[in-house]
Amino acid sequence: MTTRRRYALTLEYDGAPFVGWQRQDNGLSVQQVLEEAAARLNNGVPPLAVAAGRTDAGVHAEGQVAEIEIAAGELPPERVREALNFHTRPHPVSAVRAAVAPEGWSARFSAVRRGYRYRILNRRARPALDIGRVWHVQGRLDTEAMHAAAQALLGRHDFSAFRAASCQAKTAERTLDRLDVSRLGDEVVVTAEARSFLHHQVRNLVGTLAMVGLGRRGPEWPRRVLDGRDRTRAGQTAPAEGLCFVFVRYNVEPEWT
């Protein structure tokens, strides 16, 4: 009988070719690519992979974290990482780090902080190098107004106004720890951090802040939307392709290699 062992993985992926993290009938998911690669280390049976966050179709990841249990003896984590990176080819999914999962650790439920980056290409000309990686906004964005508006959303609130209709969370109460808007040349970056987010929360926040950046609404408006708790009053959901899941933090961090 082979020993079963649970591994933690840090994943990088290009969201473009996938229906999202989660398995679905209508196309290939990151989860399926990972599980089918892991089957090669699990007597041919795809094990269940659980992720810290279920990213939507088109959303990228630099630092998604997942856990997977396989029956491959006491395989060192770097060998698991290398085997997965061999078998996930040619899909744009790469295990960047691996570790033996700590006792009692859950990729999803032990996470204490999640970080996202949203990239906006803010210029007249359409993107060439960053197609599929940015939201292209042609009108000039006032990032100082966006940043000021964002600061009024920090803290613990009912984020119903920024939640997808499909969101399955029991409560819309969340604590937003960071929402920064900055510009580097033609690129505007929104950085969002919280223990957890509602479905579409970051994209709805970005779409709402963009209305402020374009001068169509004042910097006090996003806070009024928040207080109204009415999704229909917020801005559009910013496109998936600008979003990247950057990191997950744990109180007990796996010993990554």
Beta strands at 60-70 and 93-100: parallel, antiparallel or unpaired: unpaired
Q: CB of residue 96 vs its own copies: minimum separation in angstroms? A: 5
Minimum distance between the CB of residue 140 and its own copies, rounded to whole angstroms? 14
The CA-atom distances, in angstroms, between 171 and each of 118, 160, 196, 256 are 24, 9, 12, 33
Q: Which is nearer to its own copies, 104 or 185 (CB)?
A: 185
Q: By CB under 8 A, is residue 60 in contact with its own copies?
A: yes
In angstroms, the CA 175 to CA 162 distance is 13
* Residues 161 and 145: beta-carbon distance below 8 Å: no
Q: Is residue 13 a known part of a binding site?
A: no
Applying the rule CB under 8 A, the residues between 223 and 252 that interact with its own copies are 244
Q: How far apart are CA 226 and CA 176, in angstroms?
A: 12
State which of residues 103, 124, 165, 184 lies at the interface with its own copies (CB under 8 A).
Answer: 124
End-to-end CA distance of the chain: 27
Q: Minimal CA–CA distance to 69: which of 104, 109, 42?
A: 42
Q: Which one of the listed residues 25, 56, 158, 177 is annotated catalytic?
A: 56
Question: What is the smallest separation between the CB atom of 13 and its own copies, expressed in angstroms?
Answer: 5
203 part of the interface to its own copies, by CB under 8 A: no
Q: How far is the CB of 126 from its own copies (least distance, A)?
A: 5
Q: Which is nearer to its own copies, 12 or 69 (CB)?
A: 12
Residue 62 CB coordination number (10 Å): 15
**Is 180 among the catalytic positions?**
no
Radius of gyration of the chain (CA): 19
Residue closer to its own copies (CB basis): 46 or 92:
92
By CB under 8 A, name the binding residues for its own copies.
Answer: 12-14, 60, 62, 78, 81-82, 85, 89, 92-97, 123-129, 131, 244
Catalytically active residues are 56
